[in-house]
A = this chain, B = another copy of it.
């Protein structure tokens, strides 16, 4: 129940972020809905297609399409006021990538993938909805450009999980700890302005 709630909150945050990007591009209502939908479920869809877990999740669980449709209606109506929710949305989004990463890792384990592949699958689940959103909006994906600690947090949390389950602790604690590591890593990175190393300075020097 608790996980489920977080999953839904993460989906809503992703859906709203999709609406904002789509409205920046002045898309029509159908375009806004698709971009929102893709942002929210695109990562999980790609994950399911990569491992052959079909029909993909959102086709089997109508809760996602319902929640996203609601989020789109809400966001389009209150678009002007969403700026004031920036911090709330950022928090939901951060919680979302934490949970989505671990959901992806779980799916990877059920099809017997190696840890490194599970971590890749978790990162794809968390981050590739935004990548597909940006491709559809004719932009180079934002997580490839900004040196932001985003996918890096997912990789770090996922790696921690596979280290923690080697310890004599309950798997559920390792699971929750990994989610927290992702969330805290991202919050700290934003707070202290930590970024990926700039490789271009070195080269241009």
Contact = CB atoms under 8 A, between A and B. Distances in A.
B30 A151 contact: yes
A141 B146 contact: no
Which A-B residue pairs are the 4 nearest by beta carbons? A31-B144, A52-B54, A28-B147, A51-B55
A25 interface: yes
A29 B197 contact: yes
Contact of A28 (B79, B117, B145): B145
A31 B79 CA distance: 30
A187 interface: no
Interface of A: 22-23, 25-32, 34-35, 45, 49-52, 54-56, 59-60, 62, 65, 76, 79-80, 108, 111, 113-114, 116-117, 120-121, 131, 135-141, 143-148, 150-152, 196-197, 199-200, 203
13 contacts: A28-B145, A30-B150, A30-B151, A49-B50, A50-B56, A50-B59, A51-B54, A65-B117, A80-B203, A135-B135, A136-B140, A136-B144, A138-B139
A116 B65 contact: yes
Contact of A143 (B31, B80, B146): B31
Nearest to A65: B116
A55 B113 contact: yes
Nearest to A45: B50
Contacts of A114: 62
A136 B131 contact: yes
